[in-house]
Amino acid sequence: MAGTIKYEELKALLAQSGGLVLIDVRGDDEVRGGRIPGSIHIPLSMLDNALSLSPAEFKARYNATKPAPDTPKLVFYCMSGRRGEMAAHRAHRDGYINVYNYAGAYSEWSRREPKQL
Protein backbone atom coordinates (compact mmCIF):
# COMPACT_ATOMS: atom_id res chain seq x y z
CA MET A 1 0.00 0.00 0.00
CA ALA A 2 1.30 3.44 -0.89
CA GLY A 3 1.54 6.02 1.87
CA THR A 4 1.59 9.79 1.98
CA ILE A 5 4.33 12.14 3.00
CA LYS A 6 4.02 15.73 4.21
CA TYR A 7 6.09 18.80 3.43
CA GLU A 8 8.11 18.73 6.66
CA GLU A 9 9.06 15.09 6.21
CA LEU A 10 10.05 15.63 2.57
CA LYS A 11 12.21 18.62 3.57
CA ALA A 12 13.99 16.49 6.17
CA LEU A 13 14.56 13.67 3.67
CA LEU A 14 15.98 16.10 1.10
CA ALA A 15 18.43 17.39 3.71
CA GLN A 16 19.77 13.87 4.33
CA SER A 17 22.08 12.13 1.93
CA GLY A 18 20.72 9.01 0.30
CA GLY A 19 17.65 6.90 0.76
CA LEU A 20 15.23 9.13 -1.16
CA VAL A 21 14.22 8.94 -4.79
CA LEU A 22 11.85 11.76 -5.74
CA ILE A 23 9.92 11.51 -9.01
CA ASP A 24 7.99 14.37 -10.59
CA VAL A 25 5.13 12.95 -12.68
CA ARG A 26 3.87 16.27 -14.07
CA GLY A 27 3.86 17.12 -17.75
CA ASP A 28 6.70 18.87 -19.56
CA ASP A 29 4.95 22.26 -19.58
CA GLU A 30 4.37 22.11 -15.81
CA VAL A 31 8.00 21.24 -15.09
CA ARG A 32 9.21 24.27 -17.04
CA GLY A 33 7.61 26.37 -14.27
CA GLY A 34 9.86 24.85 -11.61
CA ARG A 35 10.48 21.61 -9.74
CA ILE A 36 11.66 20.23 -6.43
CA PRO A 37 15.47 20.00 -6.38
CA GLY A 38 16.84 16.52 -6.95
CA SER A 39 13.68 15.16 -8.53
CA ILE A 40 13.61 12.96 -11.61
CA HIS A 41 11.06 14.04 -14.21
CA ILE A 42 9.02 11.11 -15.53
CA PRO A 43 5.56 12.12 -16.82
CA LEU A 44 2.81 9.86 -15.47
CA SER A 45 2.09 8.62 -18.99
CA MET A 46 5.68 7.29 -19.19
CA LEU A 47 5.95 5.84 -15.68
CA ASP A 48 5.03 2.22 -16.37
CA ASN A 49 7.56 2.09 -19.19
CA ALA A 50 10.24 3.84 -17.13
CA LEU A 51 9.92 1.42 -14.22
CA SER A 52 10.25 -1.54 -16.58
CA LEU A 53 13.53 -0.29 -18.11
CA SER A 54 16.82 -1.93 -17.25
CA PRO A 55 19.04 0.13 -14.95
CA ALA A 56 21.28 1.06 -17.91
CA GLU A 57 18.32 2.16 -20.06
CA PHE A 58 16.86 4.15 -17.16
CA LYS A 59 20.20 5.90 -16.59
CA ALA A 60 20.51 6.72 -20.30
CA ARG A 61 16.98 8.08 -20.57
CA TYR A 62 16.62 9.95 -17.24
CA ASN A 63 20.26 10.59 -16.27
CA ALA A 64 19.56 9.04 -12.87
CA THR A 65 19.95 5.71 -11.12
CA LYS A 66 16.87 3.53 -11.42
CA PRO A 67 15.25 3.08 -8.01
CA ALA A 68 15.47 -0.42 -6.58
CA PRO A 69 12.23 -2.10 -5.48
CA ASP A 70 13.36 -1.72 -1.85
CA THR A 71 14.46 1.93 -2.08
CA PRO A 72 13.97 3.34 1.45
CA LYS A 73 11.70 6.19 0.24
CA LEU A 74 10.30 6.37 -3.28
CA VAL A 75 8.25 9.56 -3.38
CA PHE A 76 6.08 10.79 -6.25
CA TYR A 77 4.59 14.24 -6.71
CA CYS A 78 2.58 16.19 -9.24
CA MET A 79 0.87 19.59 -9.15
CA SER A 80 -2.00 18.88 -6.79
CA GLY A 81 -1.56 15.32 -5.53
CA ARG A 82 -3.83 13.14 -7.67
CA ARG A 83 -1.30 12.03 -10.31
CA GLY A 84 1.30 11.50 -7.58
CA GLU A 85 -1.13 9.20 -5.80
CA MET A 86 -1.78 7.29 -9.03
CA ALA A 87 1.97 6.96 -9.64
CA ALA A 88 2.58 5.68 -6.11
CA HIS A 89 -0.11 3.03 -6.52
CA ARG A 90 1.32 1.96 -9.88
CA ALA A 91 4.83 1.63 -8.45
CA HIS A 92 3.51 -0.38 -5.51
CA ARG A 93 1.63 -2.63 -7.92
CA ASP A 94 4.90 -3.14 -9.82
CA GLY A 95 6.71 -4.38 -6.71
CA TYR A 96 8.13 -1.23 -5.14
CA ILE A 97 7.82 -1.45 -1.37
CA ASN A 98 8.39 1.94 0.32
CA VAL A 99 6.24 4.10 -1.94
CA TYR A 100 4.78 7.49 -1.03
CA ASN A 101 2.85 10.37 -2.54
CA TYR A 102 3.79 13.91 -1.51
CA ALA A 103 0.20 14.96 -0.90
CA GLY A 104 0.96 18.70 -0.78
CA ALA A 105 2.45 18.35 -4.24
CA TYR A 106 4.29 21.04 -6.17
CA SER A 107 1.54 23.56 -5.45
CA GLU A 108 2.44 23.48 -1.74
CA TRP A 109 6.16 23.26 -2.38
CA SER A 110 6.14 26.33 -4.65
CA ARG A 111 4.26 28.36 -2.01
CA ARG A 112 6.74 27.43 0.72
CA GLU A 113 10.05 27.33 -1.18
CA PRO A 114 11.95 29.52 -3.62
CA LYS A 115 11.44 28.51 -7.24
CA GLN A 116 13.85 25.85 -8.50
CA LEU A 117 14.36 25.11 -12.17
Active-site residue, from 10, 22, 44, 78: 78
* Nearest one of 82, 90, 17, 79 to 50, comparing CA atoms: 90
93 is catalytic: no
Known catalytic residues are 78
